[in-house]
Structure 1
Amino acid sequence: MAVIKAEAYGHGMLRVAESLAPRVDALAVSCLDEAAALREAGHHQPILALQGFKDERDLRAASQLDVAVTVHEDSQLRLLAATRLHRPVRVWLKLDTGMGRLGFAPSRAAELVAALTSDPNVTAVPGLMTHLACADAPERPENAAQLARFEAATRHLPGERSLANSAAILALPDAHADWVRPGIMLYGGSPLADQSAAGLGLRPVMTLSTRLIAIHALAPGEAVGYGATWRSERPTRVGVAAIGYADGYPRHAPNGTPVLVRGQRVPLIGRVSMDMITLDLTDLETVQVGDVVTLWGEGLPVDEVAAAARTISYDLLCRVHDRVQVVTG
């Protein structure tokens, strides 16, 4: 079940769905609006809305669109019982085994499966799912505890199971069950805290790049950028690249964040602006206006840039703005 919510982690939901559709058994999105866009684009395979339905409008949309929904809250049960639907909906019952976010107490699993199975608005037996809070660090005891809670609560219940996100797919085989839900790994980002994407055999789908639009010289002691947060300690060649936080590059990226110019690493210097960043080109022998600048992707893992900016690859990928031109290949 390929997770393509949030514009497929910034890659373009419809583009990614078109590519993945022949290769996956189902698609997962966050909400019914995303599911509707997939149906309108002609995607007929099973779709799951991970946040389920929030109101009667959502529930009716799920029925009309033939989209499965997650049920995680008592108000949803009441709405299911009170609404007349065009056709019943497929339901995944979510149990909170330790994430502390969405889901019912595992002790209620049998009661809820019985209620949903008898509800005429629900097709057949609900699926059973949970979400792992610490799968990115597979050695942590919380993972085994969550798996044990889920197993104890569902051992004697019917229905398909789904527990594994990207990290669990790669590192927790006991969590694989009937359905896995790959997300960040589909796009070439590492879901594991201490392993690189390349080390896991993952390749980047997105390369974010731009070009140098200016090169100039700074004398020792001169500053660059808003707030004068960086000053040269030597004669310095500064390159200006046409990208900034309005395009999705993180404003909080610090001095020294790696960037590629003509495939060679250089450090970011100065504060990120709305439309521009500045780079120290002093150690590059040959560079000129118009040269390609790569912010992340092929040759520079997004995880490394995210670590420098003290965030995660998910955050950077989802930030990429609509005004960035997309070239597919």
Structure 2
Amino acid sequence: MNIQGKLVIIGGAVDKGSFTETDLDKNASNNLNFFEKGILKRLIDESKHKKESRIEIITTASKIPKEIGPEYVKALNFLGATNVDVLYIERREQALDPEVLARLKAADVVMFTGGDQLRLTSILGGTPFDDMLIQKYRNEDFIYAGTSAGAAAASNNMIYQGSSSEALLKGEVKITSGLGLIDGVIIDTHFVQRGRIGRLFQAVVGNPKVLGIGLGEDTGLLITNGKQMEAIGSGLVILVDGREIKDTNLTQIELGEPISINHLVTHVMSKNDTFDLDTFRMTIKSSQYV
């Protein structure tokens, strides 16, 4: 399938979103690393009409949407975006509302904030809103952007629970269906800061066809054509490739027992590195061997 849209998936920053500075102008030089040097600035630049693109901030995953939404509007306005608003969807019936669907239809970008990804999928999954979202991503010059929960929910398979410290005990990582924009990957966020590598290991050993993507904070991936991934932001992206796994004890152990995995391949991406989901080849932009 020739995907026309783009994904921008972000590892998250603080729990309340990624832009909670109240004294924005005075502290802009200190507070805008995430935006000016990285991800939100790139989001605007990649959008259909640049600074004039219609951007809808969707706060469904959050329990404090009225606080988070305006902070994103403020951040995007500060970077020059002139057509930004918050689309509040807190119940499933709102995802069927003709006015809500009309706003999605007119959007060039949707930005899903952080929170609880299970809240996001349980409210939007299987609704006309979700159907339109997928169709716009596949067929239009449209961007789905998500940070934290919004990133985790973008794929067909979604991690929604799992202790970092016990992630390699069988059954500790819980997986369900996501919003279904991209297949063949599973995404985890706040990855480096919360030590979640074990969660991806368990997700991948259960189905080595799926590429594990671990996004650090202040870090994201820009995915074009549904296959070409570019690291953006200041941190790290960890990829877990299970296709060459040689052995595991996964089916021989009881729930709660440690998992063994032989020959699990990992890659580490930083800003401007690329990875092709068709060939599984990574290119380091500043390689020492070029």
TM-score band by shorter chain is 0.3 to 0.5
Higher relative contact order (CA 8 A, sep 6+): 2
Considering fraction of residues, name the structure with more strand: 2
Normalized against structure 1, the TM-score is what?
A: 0.31
Considering fraction of residues, name the structure with more helix: 1
Normalized against structure 2, the TM-score is what?
A: 0.35
